């Protein structure tokens, strides 16, 4: 609208009486106080939260991860291609996600700059600064975990630097931990959160616990780099992390069946219907007589028909599908960013790695909390049978030499679908559980995403040359 106004006034001025440069400058500047040229930090926070949950956590990155990790088989269009390893090296594959995640990190950086304690115009807004630092750390971790080396130090400068260099991925993990540490300090110094907070409704203590829980996640990611030190660092962070599921970091502002304002997994099924439950995932459930099967898997004509991973027919509805994303309750279910059951699995693994015998207690709690999460969020009550399942099915598998295998397999089950990005990270870190897609042998397992087309066109000299099948992320297992 403003552009049309300028052009009309400019034309009228030229035709009738001419117009000075000073007048044109005034026309081009918004003179009203109700339409400022820049937003204050608190007004940017809701958009930062929404985009972190919906775009970073809930859409393409997760939809491809669920196929790579074999929770689901791709059975239609792009995800069928992904399952069969077709087109995954194309620069256009994740272009939208790359641009979206850099958009939200730019918002984070804008808030961080505005609230800089030395020269920011909102130096006293420590709460907005703390939230921005947490979500910058969150989004930066997803970015470097999915792509490897990425622009950061020279990014977010706009026209000052249109071709930022790429930071080495290994240098970004200390930065992620620094951001979280500073966020904890800033939030600890805050008396309130004045921005609209779509996750915790202004509860500072829960944000601080979320920051510590994220620190534990990212510490444990480095078990191949730092060994038991990584596990101990995770445990140290967990001492201040979540203490119950009431503190889960969830985005819960979806409008249910009022598409297109639903949970992105519900929208994905409704509009695309590209995935079906895979044989890999279903067989893991079936082998353990898992009582969650009817809660996670839709039967087809009274039978469970998982899609053969890597070789399923292309069909919409020919195989059993996720019962979570296809239920109306799933369309209003929250997007989990980090949960209590995840940190109990982190605790179980970290304690096992450090020789703490109470790891079994943490594992049992993790499983029981995972049952409760799915039941509560999708069915209104915890799924029954968690304790019996642990005693009768899981405990017998915790034999010497198989402990880590079962800890991570149980975590893999618990993180089904909405938390599958972390399953993708866990598999690349540990190679657990065993993937069954035959195309992993003939073509390869995708260890990362290809760099975006927008970068190849605008910043070609700095984009690393990588193979998604041969070049692993720096913290991954050999």
Q: What is the pLDDT of residue 213?
A: 99
- Structure-block tokens of residue 60: 């393409």
**CA 20 remoteness from chain centre:** 52
CB-CB neighbours of 352 under 10 Å: 20
The CA distance from 476 to 478, in Å, is 7
Q: Flag residues of the chain having pLDDT under 70.
A: 1-37, 258
- Structure-block tokens of residue 219: 């510490």
Q: Would you give the DSSP letter of residue 337? A: E
336 touches 370 (CB < 8 A): no
**Cis preceding-peptide flag for 260 (omega within 30 of 0):** yes
Q: What is the pLDDT of residue 7?
A: 32
The CA distance from 51 to 331, in Å, is 17
The CA distance from 333 to 339, in Å, is 14
Q: Which residue has the tokens 């469970």?
A: 304
Beta-ladder partners of 50:
none
41 touches 195 (CB < 8 A): yes
Query: DSSP assignment of 34-71, as one string?
Result: TS-SS--HHHHHHHHHHHIIIIIIHSHHHHHHHHHTTS
**Cis preceding-peptide flag for 433 (omega within 30 of 0):** yes
Q: What is the pLDDT of residue 260?
A: 78
Q: What is the pLDDT of residue 37?
A: 59
> For the chain, what's the residue count?
478
Q: What is the pLDDT of residue 157?
A: 93
Please state, in angstroms and as integers, the Cα–Cα distance from residue 187 to each residue in 123, 127, 193, 211, following that order: 13, 5, 9, 10
Q: What is the pLDDT of residue 305?
A: 98
Q: Is 308 helix (H, G, I), strand (E, B) or coil?
A: coil
Q: What is the pLDDT of residue 258?
A: 66
Beta-ladder partners of 250:
336
229 touches 221 (CB < 8 A): no
Q: Which residue has the tokens 């690349």?
A: 428
201: which residues sit within 8 A by CB, 6+ positions away?
none
- Cα angle 60-62-64, degrees, rounded to a multiple of 5: 70
Q: What is the pLDDT of residues 319-346, one digit of tens each?
A: 999 999 998 888 999 999 999 999 999 9
Q: What is the pLDDT of residue 17?
A: 33
Q: At what angle do helices 204-220 and 169-188 cross, to 10 degrees?
A: 160
The CA distance from 302 to 283, in Å, is 18
């Amino acid at each position: 609208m403003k552009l049309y106004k300028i052009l009309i006034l400019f034309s009228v001025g030229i035709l009738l009486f001419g117009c000075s440069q000073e007048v044109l400058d005034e026309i081009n500047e918004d003179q009203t106080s109700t339409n400022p040229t820049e937003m204050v930090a608190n007004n940017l926070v809701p958009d930062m939260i929404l985009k972190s949950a919906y775009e970073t956590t809930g859409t393409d990155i997760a939809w491809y991860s669920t196929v790579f990790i074999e929770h689901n088989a791709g059975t239609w269009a792009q995800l069928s291609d992904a399952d069969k390893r077709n087109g995954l090296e194309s620069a256009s594959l994740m272009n939208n996600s790359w641009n979206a995640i850099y958009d939200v990190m730019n918002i984070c950086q804008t808030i961080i700059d505005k609230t800089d304690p030395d020269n920011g115009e909102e130096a006293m807004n420590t709460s907005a600064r703390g939230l921005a630092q947490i979500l910058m750390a969150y989004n930066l971790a997803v970015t470097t975990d999915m792509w490897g080396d990425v622009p950061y130090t020279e990014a977010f400068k706009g026209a000052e630097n249109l071709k930022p260099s790429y930071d080495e991925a290994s240098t970004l993990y200390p930065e992620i931990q620094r951001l979280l540490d500073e966020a904890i300090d800033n939030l600890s110094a805050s008396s309130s959160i004045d921005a609209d907070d779509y996750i915790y409704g202004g509860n500072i203590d829960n944000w601080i616990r979320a920051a510590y829980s994220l620190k534990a996640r990212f510490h444990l990611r480095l078990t191949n780099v730092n060994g038991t030190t990584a596990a101990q660092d995770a445990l140290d962070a967990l001492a201040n992390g979540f203490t119950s599921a009431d503190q889960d970091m969830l985005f819960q502002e979806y409008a249910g069946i009022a598409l297109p304002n639903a949970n992105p997994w519900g929208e994905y099924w409704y509009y695309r219907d590209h995935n079906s439950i895979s044989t890999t995932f279903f067989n893991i459930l079936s082998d353990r007589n898992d009582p969650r099967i009817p809660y996670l898997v839709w039967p087809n004509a009274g039978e469970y028909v998982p899609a053969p991973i890597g070789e399923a027919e292309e069909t919409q509805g020919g195989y059993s599908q996720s019962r979570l994303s296809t239920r109306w309750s799933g369309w209003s279910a929250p997007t989990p960013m980090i949960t209590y059951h995840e940190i109990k699995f982190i605790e179980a693994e970290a304690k096992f790695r450090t020789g703490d015998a109470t790891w079994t207690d943490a594992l049992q709690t993790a499983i029981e909390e995972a049952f409760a999460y799915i039941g509560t969020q999708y069915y209104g009550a915890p799924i029954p049978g968690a304790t019996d399942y642990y005693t009768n099915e899981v405990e017998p598998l915790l034999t010497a030499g198989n402990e880590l295998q079962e800890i991570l397999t149980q975590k893999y089950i618990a993180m089904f679908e909405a938390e599958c990005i972390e399953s993708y990270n866990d598999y690349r870190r540990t190679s657990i559980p065993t993937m069954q897609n035959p195309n992993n042998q003939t073509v390869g397992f995708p260890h990362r995403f290809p760099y975006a087309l927008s970068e190849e066109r605008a910043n070609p000299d700095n984009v690393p040359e990588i193979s998604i099948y041969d070049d692993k992320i720096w913290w991954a297992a050999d």
